[in-house]
Structure 1
Amino acid sequence: MAALTTVHRRRLREIWRSAGWPCQDMIEVELLAAGWLERVRHDSGHETLRVTDAGIAVLAETLQRNRGARDAHEALVERVAREMTRSGRLAWRGLSLRAKVGESWAMAMPDVFSVRYTTFEDYLEPVVHEVKVRRADLLADLKREAKRAAYLQLCGECWYVIRDGIARPDEIPPECGVLVASDQALDVARPAPKRAMRLPFQAWMALARATPLDGGHLDESQAWLGDASGR
């Protein structure tokens, strides 16, 4: 059969969680032919589907792979957030923010949102970092123009932080900067365009309700990622 795809894995998971009623489509045919599903005929005459031991092994492997990707993603998010706090910024992870995109409102949840540690609103310089460690996730995210537009309504700089090797910088839209994460460093592949902006009122309210990452000591001697200013 064709190579095991995300669609096959998703269908296996759906059948595992359900009563196993067949859809009788080509995805099901391929799963049956590969031995990951089997048909079960009941006394009443109807058939259902059951995930075989081979299918369960596929589900277990998928779980481990997804868990590894989540762990890698969370580790890089933490790394970026810590860089923000070490450079004297206040940083939040997974902050839910509301932004006006066109005529409608959209919810945005950047991986890292940060502002400068300052008492002057004009110097806040809000920044969004969106972290991607898998190419498939990055490509899917790049298609979500409304999400990116919401980020740009909430920050003066928007960055994609990508694991080394998953994409070229020119694949990222020009309105966003690109940081490439290797094991040793976070390297600026393309600076983010800077835009003067003030935080909208709803963003202030979200910040007031949330708790920033504990930054420990603020080390002003370290310049934050992509910023050479010393204000």
Structure 2
Amino acid sequence: MPPATPLSRPHARRLREVYRSAGWPWQDAVELELLALGLLERVPGDGRETVRLTDAGVQAAAQNVQRQQRARSAHEQLVERVARDMGRAGRIAWRGLMLRALLPGSDAAAPRWCLACPDVFSIRNTSVAHYVEPVVHEIKVSRADLLADLRQPAKRAAYLDLGGQCWYVLGRDARGRAIGDADDVPPECGVLALAEDGGLALQRPAPRRERAALPFHVWMALARATPCAGLDEDVQLPLRAG
């Protein structure tokens, strides 16, 4: 029988690797634990031994794939919702951008460039460059993903370099439980949380930071990308001749 609790990422990844490979053993702790759980088995051969998934291992790997698909679907739905909310608020929003950000240097190191991929990046719909007020929204629907993200201060620093505000939007897990709250997120970021009724509840506003006009390379990235749809088409009544 597969384990009652979901597999850790290293264990799930190893099952997929073994399934796709010729079964060469790693002979490490992850393989040893999977053998003990009955998800892998040793197969003697001509002068060598390989490993393969047991029936329970196949089921565990398939269940893990299904969980990942559900998580991706929930993540995409929440990303789409936030992007549409930005459009309804009169902003222009983009999803899946890859933008260069400047990370501040330490005492011994100079500032350095990195690539940042915010879930939603939006600006005000204005023709005045200094009024664009860029905002980053990072969406999380898994507590493990949230905690892993929070352990990367450079990622938050990149988002803060790109936006005058940075928000974390916290969804709910497969059982409908909140994955976190404002206490989990550093104070330099705002927090929105998906409520039980499906609304987005403000848990902490994002501090506003003075932000000059967007740098040229960001404008070029926005120009090459397609923004998300704005207001729903059925919100505005068609114009009729009087």
TM > 0.5 fold call = yes
Q: Is the 8 A contact 2:75 2:140 kept in 1?
A: yes
What is the aligned length?
Answer: 217
* Shift >6 Å, 4+ stretches: none
**Counterpart mapping for 1:1-231 below 5 A:** 4-43=7-46, 45-102=47-104, 103-164=111-172, 165-182=178-195, 183-197=197-211, 198-216=213-231
Name the SS for the 2:30 alignment partner.
Answer: helix
Q: Structure 1 regions of 5+ residues with no counterpart?
A: 219-231
The amino acid across from 2:120 in the alignment is V
Give yes or no for contact 2:181–2:203 (8 Å, CA) kept in 1.
no
Q: Name whichever of 62-71 and 18-27 sits farther off.
A: 18-27
What is the DSSP-based 3-state SS (H/G/I as helix, E as strand, rest coil) of the residue aligned with 2:202?
A: strand
Deviations 1:47-87 (A, max 9, x none): 11111221111111000000000000000000000000011
Residue ranges of structure 2 left out of the alignment (5+ in a row): 105-110, 173-177, 234-242
CA distance in structure 2 between the aligned counterparts of 1:193 and 1:60, rounded to whole angstroms: 43
Q: TM-score, normalised by structure 1?
A: 0.89
TM-score, length basis structure 2: 0.85
User: Over the residues paired in the alignment, what is the CA RMSD in angstroms?
Assistant: 1.8
Give me the identity figure in percent: 60
Flag the 1:7–1:133 CA change in 2: closer, same or farther, 3 A.
same
- Distance in 2 between residues matched to 1:196 and 1:159, nearest whole Å: 16
Q: In the TM superposition, what is the alpha-carbon distance from 1:2 to its structure 2 partner?
A: 10
Using CA pairs under 8 Å that are at least 6 residues apart, name the structure with larger relative contact order, 1 or 2.
1
Whole-Å separation in 1 of the counterparts to 2:12 and 2:66: 13
Query: 1:129 touches 1:158 (CA, 8 Å); kept in 2?
Result: yes
- Please tell me whether the aligned partners of residues 84 and 231 of structure 2 are also in contact (alpha carbons under 8 angstroms): no
